[in-house]
A and B are shown apart, each in its own frame.
Chain A
Amino acid sequence: MTDAAISLQSAADQKAIAAIRAKNAVWRRILRDPAAALAAAFLVVIVAVAVLAPWIAPHDPYASNMRLRFCPPMGARCPTFLLGADNQGRDMLSRIMFGLQATLGMGVIAVLVGGGLGALIGLSAAYFRRLDTPLMRLVDVLLSFPSILFGLAIAAVLGTGLFSLVIALSVASVPSIARIARGAAQSIMQQEYMEAGRAVGLGDGALIWRYLARNCWPTILIYMTLQLGQAILLGAALSFLGLGAQPPTAELGSMASDGRKFLQIAPGVSTFPCAAIFLVVLAFNVLGDALRDALDPKLRQ
């Protein structure tokens, strides 16, 4: 509120500006694109399913029943299993719901942790010019490491499991976010209000937090969303290789890997988790493209 208190704009001006802002709000422009609106709606449903999985899953994802082994979707043996049963007779639909929880959860945590760290590096590099070269060199080193190798190396060091997977995914999302944050912060550094802030005697901390970070975070947040699809894809690949979630944990990548052995008998056991990963990542990418277009009108003409 202090910002508003010292503002030179009249209340009417502010109202008009707010109206224009609301009309051109990025999310409104995105939702005008039907594909992006569909993707957004799909993701809302998926996130709800993932969060509510323990309450809405029709069956226990870990309750095995060997008599229902490889039961086809809604087959005679398992009429209530909408997607059939896996090699241990567990309900595929419930496992996919819990799998979404694990897969999305690790992606979100990783992107928040890695993105936060990346943003810190990027902002510091832009603000403290002397740190720019060393920090960006570090980012180059991280970038030149194919991210799946982080997963392998970290799994070797900390053991396989969701924890090492999240660390690997976080590390993998640091460098690209750091670059984006630096780019965004550098253009903010050119703004007169940065100089003005310095002139009125604000310290580094206040300048970075109140002027730099607050003006950069929308860009950074958007790139974090873009990164989420990639993080989920990478995490699923690592789990598929056996380096992430371990059985019997319901996680989409490791479920796909489990089902690989029964490809000829019951393809659904690996196909359904694969399709779930694909649809979620696709939705994130469609939404991400719309975000990019909305933010960069040059590409739209």
Chain B
Amino acid sequence: MISLPVLLGVLLIGFLLLQVVPTDPATVLAGPTATKAEVAAIRAQLGLDEPLWVQFGRYLARVLQFDFGRSMISNRAVSEEIALTFWPTVELMLACLVWAVPLGIALGTMAARRRGTLLDRAIMALSVMGVSVPVFWVGLLLIQYVGGAGLLPFQGRNGPIWTAAGFASIVLPALTLGAVFVGPVARMTRTSLLETLGADYVRTARAKGASDWRVTLRHALRNAMIPVVTLVGLQIGFLLGGSIVTETMFAWPGVGRMAVGAITSSDFPLAQGAILILAVGFMVVNLVVDVLYAYLDPRIARS
């Protein structure tokens, strides 16, 4: 999954997409009163008059040194802007995963153990609803009923998560983003647990007299976690995207909101940086997922 060609491709796509922005950044920077010569000078200064592949090569060399250029709006280094927004996004995602994944696994386990019962059907129905609900509706409902009643803040981040104000401000965004995550996790856990519960080693465990819960938790669930970890890994890419809506709704100062702002204001160094960070983040998560596999299934590490 993580490989140089993929990374290069992501860089190339991000670069090319933002190259064809219809508004000429040199004209924007020079201002409405600038002469043609001034625009041309800025063009040369930015390296915009060179062939695309030269610009791309230069971009690659700079990216390798963590130099993503300067924002055209704030004139701050893009790496600085990313450093500012990176943690809030990670924080939001962790705050979402920390409740949504355990809840999803618990619901999936319950559904699998009580398979075919009303409880199973109710959990599965909830999970389909979770997959189908627009993130922004969850957010709107929370803002309307919880935020509107003055119970919790819903605008911005009031500090790091370990402070009381910071914690209060992350609750609603984390609930919003996590709501769409519980369903797929529960469903995957259920499917995968049903498969492992029928496996020979589970029957062996039962035969030697292990208790029902011990069999479920120690023998079946650990093996059932492999596809669940894959799903969580894959869904991180989806979460990165979904967090854009959440961050925008709740004025959360993260990478996603910054990317929207950068793209709509054709601030392309910043947009490139934001897209690259999101894509690389996705790849790193996949690497972590691979490592987790090896922990869950030692056979993978040995092969």
Contact = CB atoms under 8 A, between A and B. Distances in A.
Interface of A: 137-138, 140-141, 143-149, 152-157, 159, 229, 233, 236-237, 240-243, 253, 256-257, 260, 263-264, 267, 270-271, 274-275, 277-278, 281-282, 284-286, 289, 299
Interface in B1-38: 1, 5-6, 9-10, 13-14, 17-18, 20-22
18 contacts: A141-B6, A144-B6, A144-B237, A144-B282, A148-B245, A152-B271, A153-B271, A153-B275, A154-B17, A155-B264, A156-B263, A156-B266, A157-B21, A237-B245, A242-B264, A256-B134, A284-B132, A285-B131
A236 B245 CA distance: 11
Given A157-B17, A282-B128, A140 B143 contact: no
Contacts of A154: 17
B275 A149 contact: yes
A34 B278 CA distance: 42
Contact of B128 (A145, A149, A285): A285
B135 interface: yes
Contacts of B128: 282, 285-286, 289
B283 to A, nearest CB: 7
B128 to A, nearest CB: 5
B199 interface: no
B10 A233 contact: no
A143 B6 CA distance: 10
A282 to B, nearest CB: 4
Contact of B148 (A153, A264, A285, A289): A264
Given A156-B21, A157-B21, A140 B137 contact: no
Contacts of A229: 132
A157 B245 contact: no
Contacts of A284: 132
A278 B144 contact: no
Contacts of A286: 128
A152 B133 contact: no
Nearest to B286: A144
Contact of A264 (B1, B144, B191, B259): B144
Nearest to A238: B245
Interface in B116-165: 128-129, 131-137, 140, 143-144, 148
Contacts of B171: none
Contacts of B244: 148-149, 152, 241
Interface of B: 1, 5-6, 9-10, 13-14, 17-18, 20-22, 128-129, 131-137, 140, 143-144, 148, 191, 237-238, 240-242, 244-245, 248, 259-260, 263-264, 266, 271, 275, 278-279, 282-283
Given A147-B238, A148-B244, A282-B133, 12 more contacts: A144-B283, A146-B278, A149-B275, A152-B244, A153-B275, A156-B263, A156-B271, A260-B140, A264-B144, A271-B140, A278-B133, A278-B134
B253 to A, nearest CB: 16
A122 to B, nearest CB: 18
Nearest to A298: B195
A140 B275 CA distance: 16
A155 B245 CA distance: 15
A153 B18 contact: yes
Contact of B132 (A149, A264, A278): A278
A152 B270 CA distance: 13
Nearest to A237: B245
A237 B17 contact: no
A264 B149 CA distance: 10
A278 B275 CA distance: 29
A289 B128 CA distance: 9
Contact of A241 (B10, B20, B129, B245): B245
A299 B237 CA distance: 27
A151 B148 CA distance: 31
- Please list the 3 inter-chain residue pairs (A to B) with the smallest Cβ-Cβ separation, ordered nearest first: A146-B241, A148-B241, A141-B9
Nearest to A267: B144
B279 A144 contact: yes
Contact of A155 (B237, B241, B263): B263
Contacts of A157: 17-18, 20-22
Nearest to B240: A146
Contacts of B9: 137-138, 140-141
Given A144-B279, A148-B242, A263-B140, A237 B22 contact: no
